[in-house]
């Protein structure tokens, strides 16, 4: 299935892109999406992921325009055509 994403603020600068489309397996979750983003953009986005590979605190994820709580990422199954966006911290900058 194909899932779209957009890059905002400094994430756009880090990736050099406004948007992208990723191909994921049926039944993939937001956690799988984040793993695919991490694998595709590796060093470009390394600073937004912790050493454990998890998106750093302060970032949020929206699915089709609605915020998804961090505890739901592993249970939120994506569908073909969904749009998932990593939202940078509101204050701007990367968390320490």
For the chain of 96 residues, list the mean pLDDT of each consecutive stretch of 10: 95 95 98 96 91 91 97 97 93 51
**DSSP 3-state assignment of 12?**
helix
What is the distance between the alpha carbons of residues 52 and 41, in angstroms, rounded to a whole number? Answer: 16
What is the distance between the alpha carbons of residues 78 and 96, in angstroms, rounded to a whole number? Answer: 30
Pair 64, 15: CB distance under 8 Å = no
Per-residue confidence (pLDDT) for residue 91, from 0 to 100: 57
Q: Helix H segments across 16-93?
A: 30-45
Per-residue confidence (pLDDT) for residue 51, from 0 to 100: 86
Per-residue confidence (pLDDT) for residue 62, from 0 to 100: 97
Report yes or no on whether pTM surpasses 0.95: no
Q: Count other C-beta atoms under 10 Å from residue 22's C-beta.
A: 18
Per-residue confidence (pLDDT) for residue 89, from 0 to 100: 87
Per-residue confidence (pLDDT) for residue 70, from 0 to 100: 95
């Amino acid at each position: 299935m194909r899932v779209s994403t957009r890059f905002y603020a400094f994430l756009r600068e880090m990736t050099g892109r406004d948007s992208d489309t990723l191909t994921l397996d049926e039944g993939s979750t937001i956690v799988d999406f984040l793993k695919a983003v991490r694998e595709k953009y590796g060093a470009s986005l390394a600073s937004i992921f912790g050493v454990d590979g998890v998106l750093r605190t302060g970032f949020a994820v929206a699915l089709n325009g609605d915020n998804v709580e961090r505890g739901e990422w592993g249970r939120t199954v994506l569908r073909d055509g969904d749009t998932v966006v990593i939202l940078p911290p509101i204050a701007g900058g990367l968390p320490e």
